Structure 1
Amino acid sequence: MLYRRTFLSLGPIAIAGLAGCATRPRDASPGLAETPAPSAMTDEQALEASLQAMALVGTPYRYGGNTPQGGFDCSGLIVYVYRRVAGIAPPRTVRAISEWGQPIAASHLRSGDLVIFGGGGVATHAGIHIGQSRFVHAPSTGGTVRLNSVHERYWAARLIGYRRPLNA
């Protein structure tokens, strides 16, 4: 099981800056559909999303990236995982992702939900929650897709909230 080996083999994870994650990538088209669908993802789809995200740990970061072969930025990772798992087409920018889906209280968080970060209420970064307060994300230029905890000082100071993706 690739995701288990990836998950278990992770050592201490360096915290990196969020270069370029909040801006619209060069290859994203303005006017992408940002209207949420009517129902939340199933529990099975949510679990599969977290497993897919864990399997991508180690993939290189690339601004505007949205494939394992080409690399990912934070929103590209989210779009890739949810399209593969549930046929969902999330918005392509962090700002739009931060308003998409349903807001979720930390007490109702499940694997597969989105974790939104920023400052002053403005979203600049997002990841996929995998359980136990951990999330998978593509944090910065020169880095790789990685796993962090929302309780780490850097991330805890920037946590804005959680969103539940909607099904198509």
Structure 2
Amino acid sequence: MLQRFAPLVPLALTLVLAACAGQVAPPQAGYQGAPRTHSAAPWAQDDATPAETGEPTAQELAELTDDQPYQLPQLADSILSHGLSLVGTRYRFGGSSAKSGFDCSGFIGYLFKEEAGLQLPRSTREMINIDAPLVERDELEPGDLVFFSTNGRGRVSHAGIYLGDDQFIHSASRRSGGVRVDSLDDRYWRRSFIEAKRALAMAPSEALERHP
């Protein structure tokens, strides 16, 4: 199933050049046609920051996961367009800005704050517990958060943002070039995938008004 944002991925990626070296293991260079896998690196586990108010009602949350047309495409496009413009930005443990570099949760938090006015928790362990709708693997929409257990212990240790067409963007590691695009269908990510959440359902109403 080709997701709505997927057609923008090749166009945006021709404008940026992903870095090729990194800190985590097997994978090769950054995004060059078909995404490639890599091993995990340590991820930041800093203090959480409370989410802003303005969460939708229970009925609205339910509608987001029912068989309804996706309600947040413009907001997702804004987040992902910004994210793709940062492909190649270096990985930095604890980093949360384009200038200093990003770790995985810092990258997600930066984009959601900048484009959706949504303050997410700082660590992946707390981010996975946000009060947002769970999304089935085959019902992912652009902008959904995807979580992984990269340490083999079944506990969340990494996260990214779903792009569409089974691809996601994340700040991977130093050795794999920092911010890059990978595929959920790659064996490494398929095996380490835990769950996904629709964090955009928590976006404040002002953000939705800016992106009708």
Aligning the two structures, in what range does the TM-score lie when normalised by the shorter sequence?
Answer: 0.7 to 0.9
- 1:111 pairs, out of 136, 142, 149, with 142
Cα pair 1:75 1:94 within 8 Å, conserved: yes
Q: Deviations over 1:102-135 (max 9, x none)?
A: 2111232111111110144411100011100100
Shift of 1:83: 0.7
Match of 2:184 in 1: 150
CA distance in 1, matches of 2:145, 2:89: 19
Match of 1:44 in 2: 74
Cα pair 1:6 1:57 within 8 Å, conserved: no
Q: Deviations over 1:66-88 (max 9, x none)?
A: 11111000000000110111100
Shift of 1:163: 0.7
Cα pair 2:36 2:183 within 8 Å, conserved: no
Determine if the alignment matches structure 1 residue 20 to structure 2 residue 33: no
Q: Identify which range, 45-54 or 128-137, moves more after superposition.
A: 45-54
Shift of 1:50: 1.7
Determine if the alignment matches structure 1 residue 99 to structure 2 residue 129: yes
Q: Which runs of 5+ in 1 are unaligned?
A: none
Aligned residue type for 2:41 = A
CA distance in 2, matches of 1:13, 1:110: 19
Aligned residue type for 2:165 = Q
CA distance in 1, matches of 2:172, 2:103: 7
Cα distance change on mapping 1:4 and 1:81 into 2, 3 Å: same
Match of 1:65 in 2: 95
Question: How big is the alpha-carbon RMSD for the aligned residues of Structure 1 and Structure 2?
Answer: 2.6
Task: Using structure 1 for the length normalisation, give the TM-score.
Answer: 0.84
Cα pair 2:87 2:179 within 8 Å, conserved: yes
Cα distance change on mapping 1:7 and 1:161 into 2, 3 Å: farther
Q: Which runs of 5+ in 2 are unaligned?
A: 1-7, 19-30, 62-70, 205-212
State, as a whole percentage, how many aligned pairs show the same letter. Answer: 31
Aligned residue type for 2:187 = R
Q: Deviations over 1:125-164 (max 9, x none)?
A: 0001110010001112343111000010110010011111
Task: Using structure 2 for the length normalisation, give the TM-score.
Answer: 0.68
Q: How many residues align?
A: 163
Q: Deviations over 1:44-84 (max 9, x none)?
A: 11121122211111100000011111100000000011011
Aligned residue type for 1:135 = F
Q: Which structure is higher in strand share?
A: 1
Determine if the alignment matches structure 1 residue 124 to structure 2 residue 124: no
